[in-house]
Structure formats: structure tokens, C-alpha cells
């Protein structure tokens, strides 16, 4: 019986896990953060890393959509969170992909897609707000603003955010093109890992339409994991 075979040079290196081909390269976040040199861009990398936000939803956020403290008055989520609300009239043409109902009552946003917010997201938000936003914002109420050029202070577009991430990836020497949607795939896969492949947890954390979708897209096992190899060897009769 053959005890071993030559390793496949095309197989992922040991420790690499990629459930989805469009995920970020391994270690992308710590590589990207040092090469983005303004607070807004650090906030974008952090917010995309810690949620499953789409870039249209992120660049379409207004300040009133952010409930970044415990027990916000909307009463819809006890922990810090934000509401992604589909709006047709954003001056930067950014719009959320999904369109759940939302409304504002007494200046308080309710409904939309709710995303929980991490401490790192809150920290990056306050760094950005107290420096760049406070200095340049033009009074339109949107979260992300342009920080240079003739439209200084005006809303920042999704295309501009994509360009920033692409350039940051090049400066960091990361393979491939860094795209906003890759953060969404990577976040969902990480949630599955952390929850023991619980697709219902991943569905709620990532605002996916169904647990079945999460399971079908991300839920297949890591074929290089010790558990997968042990299961195969057991079936092959190599494990007593």
C-alpha cells in the first residue's frame, strides 16, 4: 500500500483556506491598513473587513444611518449598528442593492438592512470624523467625502472607493485586484469558521437572503484540513 504520494505543486500552501475564489488574499487587512494614508481610507478598509457591506451601501450611508452606541433609540438592535437604506437621490449616485423598507421618525432612522458595528469600526469612524470630516464636509449629511480636488467635501463615489482599494492593493504588493466585494466573501467565510460552519449565524451576521445560499456558496469543507483528510483515510481503511 502506498503510504504517501508526491505533493501537488498547484495545491494551496498549508494553512491557506479559501472557500470562495473571489475572497481576499490571505492577510489582506493588515497589509492594506499601513498603506492607506488617510483616516477615511482606513475607515473604509476597516468597515468592509468587519461587515458584509457592499460598496454601494457603504458609500450611500448618511450620518443619520449610524447608531454607534448601545441601546440606540430606534430599538431595533441593542448593540452599536448601522442602517443601510436604499435612496434614489444620493448626489454621488451610490445606492444599496437591496431595498427593505425604512423610514425616519423624529430624526431617527428605522428599518433598512441592519449591520452590527465592531469596536474597530467605531474607533476608525471617530478618527475620521474628528479630523478629515470635520474639516472638509460640505453639509450634505453623507458619511464619506472627497478629500481633494475641485469637489472637496462633496460625497465620495463607489467608483472612487474601488480605485482607492485597487491602488492600495498594488502598494501592499497583494496578488490580484483588490475589490470591495471580496471583503464580503471573506467576512462570510470567517464567520462560518468562527461559528463552526453555522450557516444561520453567517446569514444573520452577513445579511444574506437565506442560510441555504450561504451554505451552497461557502459551506463546502476545507479539503486540506486535517479533519477532511482524516475522514477520507478512515473511509479508505487507513485508520484503525
Q: What is the pLDDT along the chain (240 residues), one digit of tens a residue?
A: 445 444 444 443 343 343 456 789 989 999 999 999 999 999 999 999 999 999 999 999 999 999 999 999 999 999 999 999 999 999 999 999 889 999 999 999 999 999 999 999 999 999 999 999 999 999 999 999 999 999 999 999 999 999 999 999 999 999 989 999 999 888 888 887 777 777 776 666 666 656 666 665 666 556 666 777 777 788 787 766
Interatomic CA distance for residues 81 and 114, integer angstroms: 7
* pTM metric for this prediction: 0.80
Give the pLDDT score at 200: 72
Give the pLDDT score at 191: 80
What lies within 8 Å, CB to CB, of 164 at 6+ separation is: 36, 41, 44
Give the pLDDT score at 14: 41
Give the pLDDT score at 210: 65
DSSP string, 198-209: -HHHHHHHHT-S
Answer yes or no: are the C-beta atoms of 192 and 218 closer than 8 Å: yes
The x, y and z cell numbers of residue 231, run together, are 475522514
Which among 163, 146, 180, 156 has a CA at the least distance from the CA of 92?
156
Q: Which residues of 77-116 are buried (b: 16+ CB within 10 A; e: fewer)?
A: beebbbbbbbbeebebebbbeeeeebeeeeeebbebbbbb
Give the pLDDT score at 5: 46
Answer yes or no: are the C-beta atoms of 72 and 81 closer than 8 Å: yes
First-residue to last-residue Cα distance in the chain:
15
Interatomic CA distance for residues 192 and 76, integer angstroms: 24
Answer yes or no: are the C-beta atoms of 37 and 147 closer than 8 Å: no
Give the pLDDT score at 113: 93
Distance of CA 238 to the CA centre of its chain: 42
Give the pLDDT score at 9: 44
Amino acid at each position: 500500500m502506498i503510504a504517501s504520494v508526491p505533493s501537488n505543486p498547484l495545491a494551496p500552501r498549508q494553512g491557506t483556506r479559501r472557500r470562495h475564489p473571489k475572497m481576499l488574499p490571505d492577510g489582506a487587512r493588515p497589509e492594506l491598513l499601513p498603506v492607506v494614508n488617510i483616516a477615511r481610507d482606513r475607515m473604509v478598509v476597516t468597515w468592509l473587513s468587519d461587515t458584509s457591506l457592499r460598496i454601494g451601501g457603504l458609500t450611500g450611508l448618511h450620518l443619520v444611518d449610524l447608531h454607534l452606541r448601545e441601546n440606540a433609540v430606534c430599538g431595533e438592535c441593542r448593540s452599536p449598528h448601522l442602517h443601510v437604506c436604499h435612496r434614489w437621490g444620493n448626489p454621488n449616485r451610490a445606492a444599496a442593492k437591496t431595498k427593505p423598507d425604512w423610514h425616519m421618525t423624529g430624526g431617527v432612522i428605522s428599518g433598512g438592512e441592519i449591520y452590527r458595528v465592531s469596536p474597530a469600526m467605531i474607533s476608525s469612524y471617530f478618527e475620521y470624523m474628528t479630523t478629515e470630516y470635520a474639516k472638509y464636509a460640505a453639509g450634505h449629511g453623507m458619511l464619506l467625502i472627497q478629500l481633494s480636488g475641485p469637489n472637496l467635501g462633496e460625497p465620495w463615489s463607489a467608483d472612487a472607493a474601488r480605485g482607492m482599494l485597487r491602488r492600495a492593493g498594488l502598494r501592499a504588493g497583494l496578488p490580484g485586484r483588490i475589490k470591495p466585494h471580496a471583503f464580503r466573501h471573506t467576512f462570510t467565510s470567517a464567520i462560518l469558521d468562527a461559528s463552526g460552519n453555522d450557516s444561520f449565524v453567517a446569514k444573520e451576521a452577513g445579511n444574506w437572503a437565506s442560510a441555504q445560499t450561504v451554505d451552497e456558496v461557502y459551506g463546502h469543507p476545507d479539503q486540506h484540513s486535517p479533519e477532511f483528510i482524516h475522514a477520507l483515510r478512515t473511509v479508505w481503511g487507513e485508520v484503525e
